Amino acid sequence: MSYSGLEFENSHRLAEREYSLLYEANVAALLTTGNGYMGVRASLEEYGSLGIQGFWIRGVMDEVVEVRLTMCDNMYMKKYYVEEDRLKRFERQERAVNLLDFLLVRFEIGGETFYPWEGKVLSWKRYLDLSDGVLHREVVWENTEGLRTRFDFRRFASFADDHTYCMQVEMEPLNYSEAVTILSGMDLRTKSNGQIPQRTLKVQHEGRTIMQEEIVGPKYGFHSATGISQSFSQSNAVWEDVCEDGIAAQRITFDAVQGEVYTLEKLIATVTGRDTRRKLSDCIEEYFEAYQKSSYQEEYEKHCAVYQKLFSKLEIGIEGDDTADRAIRFSNYHTLISIERNDHVHSFSAKGLTGEMYNNFVWWDAEIFQAPVFQQTMPEYSRNSLLFRYSHLKEARELAVKEGCRGARYPFTTGVTGEETVWTDVRHPFMQIHCVSDVGLSVINYLTATGDMEFVKQYGMEILLEICRYWVSRVVWKEEKNRYEILQVTGTDEHHPYVDNNAYTNYSVYRVLSAACRLLDEYGSELDELKKKIGFKAGEKGEFEHVAEHIYLPLDEDTGMIPQFDGYFDLSRELEVQGGSKSGYTQMKQAGLYNKSQVIKQPDVLMLFAYQNIDMPEIIYRRNLDYYQARCEAASSLSYCVHSICYADMDMPESAYGYLMETAEMDLKNKHGGTQDGIHSGCAAGAWMAVVRGVAGMKMTPDRVVFAPHYIPWWKQVSFHCVWHGQGYSVILNNRGIQVTADEENTGELVLSIYEKEYVLKAGETAEYEFSKAASIRG
């Protein structure tokens, strides 16, 4: 199967066999190399084309001009979507800055520069190896004079050191012996949204090194420094420093001999002002000293020792279905390179570090779709997303005050400041306040998966209590109905702003308030210091309890239907199409009057079952799934994993599998037409959840791991690994049954249940449940 000209050669290699301008932008995103701190798109070493090349560091941002044009030619766009007055004032927007292109390696042979669009490409193979995270390119090229050269490019972002990127290039003259020149260094002419906000402060050449320092942009003034340490296998080559026309490089000239292999290595370090208060040039000099004693191979071995261990934690193995096995592994690769393991300056973003779209902002995807994967596999890293939110409580409190509320009101999107950064010309995000309770749900999910109450007492409870304060001040008491309501909001379905009592929002608030009250009861005096710190008054817990007890939880008990919001079922089941402006940034599939229609952008009610695991009779679950799936136009990539989980819960494998593959192949097949702008990171994380939560039916609770396994009949076996309360375990599921084995390294007990059968496993023990026979335990 071909994906944007790419095919899987085996379980771990996604390869391109022919250079294609048609797919180049898609491939640049798909084959991105990264380590969570940095992301480097798969642009060519010889030339980083605009729109193809990209190098971002998480959280290094500034403002640029952003042009947003739309014409409101229907009443929905005019009254419900675009805020035209703010659109007139809108001019600049924050975004991650494309710093520079350090990949530059350009060969001149017989007076001609190697470009794949010049001369003849006799063979071409570019592939990302998921087993080690290395991007390869193997080319045989012939210039117009018939001189043939073999090139072999390799590169990776180091998992052993966030700041290190490594490159190795081999070249071999196949039918000639003559002088060859290599231009290797960095191209400083990179653009962000078509502009160059960064300003170079200094370029320094010394020996075989190049250092560049720059100010990333005018608003925040982040400083960045990048250093390249180069070595070349030909000792008598002539080196010349180059600093001209936006290129900082070294020109290496040597006499190439037919059949000899020549190797260039580039070890690259980037450090920014977000990482340290030290002088950045001193940091780069330290890297230069270390690189002098190292090599590509040594850095590769250090990288693999970390990368392969971490990738194995996310690994899902599927036997009997190569297409699913490979697509899910690819999704897991992009999930892995989306997490920053070593700081909390920033958090998960919607495109990771694979493209410019969505500006590297943190959205609610971070807490609901992305963090849960790591909470269940690498909990020690998942806490960074919570620490990011904790570090911006001040800004969240200030935003609440602006709304006339108490507590903390987290923004719909944010960069590194913790302030609201969403595009001001769109109405719905400012009402999409479920993002506040989503942060609270992430605290609860972390505690459920880890049992790490010490972390929660130190950080999470303050977040939770401030979120509860916000909701207590935001709800509205309806005396005649004896209940609290939440008015004028937007749910996860962005097609319907200005609604009352959105189901996802109301149920989420109930869960957060209830959980906070339980923790206050359970830990009592242990939280006294925190209560004193935030001025938590004696009567506040009672307020939380009263709202939790009386908040309206939408459900028609006669029909079993959960209305997505008040009046939802009064709307038309069809969508009237009117006008044709449908601006690209609206994510609408049609120019429709959505305010009059039940057609939704993405799941809202179904999120309660798939990602919040609310406990309702199956008949209610099934009715709502059947109804809302039919109303969903899936304009968001986050739709498919939700539907897959729901259909798995209903033991409908054909539908569950179909939506699982929609999720895993979202960007491989460019299903939403935006792969060139970056990977849909939340969707990629959803592939893991669709297998583990969906197919395996695994849910973590505070006191055990619960399995209600389902199965895809044509799969022979599925396997994965998780961690609950510090105890690791492996799962093997097939049509005959399920096995759960506690890790040999475990120091405590693993408590689990499979359907009605309960188990307590010590290190190395296995619980076996045969679907047609009684369960057993063996050591």
Q: Do the beta carbons of residue 141 and residue 242 sit within 8 Å?
A: no
- Rounded Cα distance between 123 and 152, Å, is 12
| CA distance to 74, 497, 522, 530, per residue, from 527 (Å) | 53, 38, 10, 5
| CA distance to 344, 348, 568, per residue, from 40 (Å) | 20, 16, 44
Q: Do the beta carbons of residue 174 and residue 188 sit within 8 Å?
A: no
Which pair of structure tokens corresponds to residue 520? 């206050």
Show Cβ contacts of residue 402 under 8 Å, excluding neighbours closer than 6 positions. none
Catalytic residues: 494
Show Cβ contacts of residue 454 under 8 Å, excluding neighbours closer than 6 positions. none
DSSP secondary structure, 626-675, as one string: HHHHHHB---STTHHHHHHHHHHHTT-HHHHHHHHHHHHTTTTTTTTS-G
Q: Do the beta carbons of residue 149 and residue 125 sit within 8 Å?
A: no
| CA distance to 83, 676, 684, 687, per residue, from 680 (Å) | 27, 11, 6, 11
| CA distance to 76, 589, 597, 599, 600, per residue, from 568 (Å) | 16, 20, 8, 10, 11
- Rounded Cα distance between 183 and 441, Å, is 52
| CA distance to 143, 400, 401, 402, per residue, from 405 (Å) | 69, 5, 5, 7
- Rounded Cα distance between 338 and 265, Å, is 26
Which pair of structure tokens corresponds to residue 757? 């059968």
What is the bridge-based pairing of β-strands 6-8 and 13-16? Answer: antiparallel
Stated as kind and residue range, the H or E segment containing 483 is: strand 483-485
Give the chain's length: 779
Q: What is the DSSP letter of 512?
A: H
- Rounded Cα distance between 439 and 447, Å, is 13
| CA distance to 105, 150, 249, 711, per residue, from 114 (Å) | 10, 11, 17, 51
Stated as kind and residue range, the H or E segment containing 6 is: strand 6-8
DSSP secondary structure, 200-229, as one string: EEEEEEETTEEEEEEE--TTT--EEEEEEE
- Rounded Cα distance between 427 and 432, Å, is 9
* Count of Cβ atoms closer than 10 Å to residue 21 Cβ: 10
Stated as kind and residue range, the H or E segment containing 250 is: strand 247-256
Show Cβ contacts of residue 411 under 8 Å, excluding neighbours closer than 6 positions. 395, 396, 399, 418, 419, 420, 421, 422, 435
Q: 231 by DSSP, 3-state: which? A: strand
Among residues 109, 191, 131, 134, the alpha carbon closest in space to that of 11 is found at: 131
Which pair of structure tokens corresponds to residue 193? 């949204």
Q: What is the DSSP letter of 414?
A: B
* Count of Cβ atoms closer than 10 Å to residue 468 Cβ: 29
Q: Where do we find the tokens 């170079």?
A: 200
Q: 140 by DSSP, 3-state: which? A: strand
